[in-house]
Amino acid sequence: MKKIFMSICLMSIIVVSLYLFKDTLFAFNIGKSNNYPVVTVVFSNNKEVVIELYPSQAPNTVNNFLDLADQGFYEYTFVSRIIPGYFVQAGDPIGDGYGYPGYYIESECKYNGTSNSISLTRGTVSMARGQDFNTEGSQFFILTQDARHLNGQYSAFGKVISGMEVIDNFGTTELDSDYQPKQDIFIKEVKVELNGYEPQAPEVYLAD
C-alpha cells in the first residue's frame, strides 16, 4: 500500500513538474521597454492601439510587419473578423479574411521548428494564417483573453501596451454570420518608432 501511495505521489510530482516546465517554454518577459520597436495602429474610429514588437522572438515576422507598415500597406486594410471575448483580426486588404500582400512568410512558432517563447495571453499579437504553417502574410490578430492552448501554434510577435480597451470595444460591433463587421472597420495608419532597432528586408516567398 505504501509503495502504491509513493508511486502516486511521484507521478503527481512528475505531472506538476512537466506542467510547470511547459509554462517556462513560453516565459518570454514581455512589457514596455525603450529597447523594443513600437507601432501605433490608428483605426477608422481614430482610436489608437500601441503595440510593442519582439524581434528576438520572431525576427522575420517583425521585419515583415515593419516593412508593410513602411510601405503604407496597412492603410485602409480591414478588420476582417471579430470573435467577441476572444480575438480581433486585422490587416486584410480585401476584408473577407482571405487578403494577403501577394506573398507568404514562414511561421515563427515552436510547432514549426522555431524557438518563440511568447505565451498567447490577453493582448498578445500574432500572425493569422491558414490551416497550414507558412501561410502568414499581412493579417494579424490580437487576443482579448488568454489562449495558452494555442502556444507554439501561431507566430506571436508583439503585445498591446496601450489601448487594449479599443480592442475590447470592437467586441460590441454588429457582426454577420461569418463574424465579419457589418460596417467597415479599417486601419487608417500605422506609426512606427524603431527605438534603435534596425529592421532587415523580410524573407518571403510567392504563393503557388
What's 115-172 look like in SS3? CCCCCCCCCEEEECCCCCCCCECCCEEEECCCCHHHCCCCCEEEEEEECHHHHHHHHH
Provide the domain count of the chain: 1
- Residue 19 belongs to a domain: no
Question: Would you state the pLDDT for residue 3?
Answer: 42
**Is the pLDDT score of 74 beyond 70?**
yes
140-143 vs 87-90, strand pairing mode: antiparallel
- Residue 17 belongs to a domain: no
Q: Of 109, 83, 112, 89, nearest to 179 (Cα)?
A: 83
- Residue 57 belongs to a domain: yes
Say what the pTM is.
0.87
φ/ψ of residue 162, rounded to 5: -160, 140
Q: What is the pLDDT of residues 100-133, one digit of tens each?
A: 999 999 999 999 999 999 999 999 999 999 999 9
- Residue 84 belongs to a domain: yes
Asked if residues 141 and 90 have their Cβ atoms less than 8 Å apart, the reply is yes
φ/ψ of residue 65, rounded to 5: -60, -45
Stronger pLDDT, 40 or 35, i.e. the higher one:
40
Taking all residues of the chain, what is their mean pLDDT, rounded to a whole number?
Answer: 90
- Residue 77 belongs to a domain: yes
- Residue 8 belongs to a domain: no
Contact residues for 35 (Cβ-Cβ < 8 A; gap 6+) = 195, 196
**Is the pLDDT score of 90 beyond 80?**
yes
Q: Which residues pair with 92 in a beta bridge?
A: 78
- Residue 11 belongs to a domain: no
Q: What is the pLDDT of residues 170-197, one digit of tens each?
A: 999 999 999 999 999 999 999 999 999 9
CATH number where 81 lies: 2.40.100.10
**Is the pLDDT score of 42 beyond 60?**
yes
Domain limits at 92? 28-206
**Is the pLDDT score of 10 beyond 70?**
no
Question: Would you state the pLDDT for residue 76?
Answer: 98
Confidence of residue 30 (pLDDT cuts 50, 70, 90): low
- Residue 171 belongs to a domain: yes
Confidence of residue 20 (pLDDT cuts 50, 70, 90): very low
Q: Which long-range contacts (CB under 8 A, 24 or more apart) does 197-203 make?
A: 197/36, 197/37, 197/55, 199/37, 199/55, 199/62, 199/63, 199/66, 199/67, 200/59, 200/63, 201/63, 201/67, 202/60, 202/63, 202/64, 202/67, 202/105, 203/60, 203/105, 203/106
Question: Would you state the pLDDT for residue 97?
Answer: 97
Question: Would you state the pLDDT for residue 15?
Answer: 37
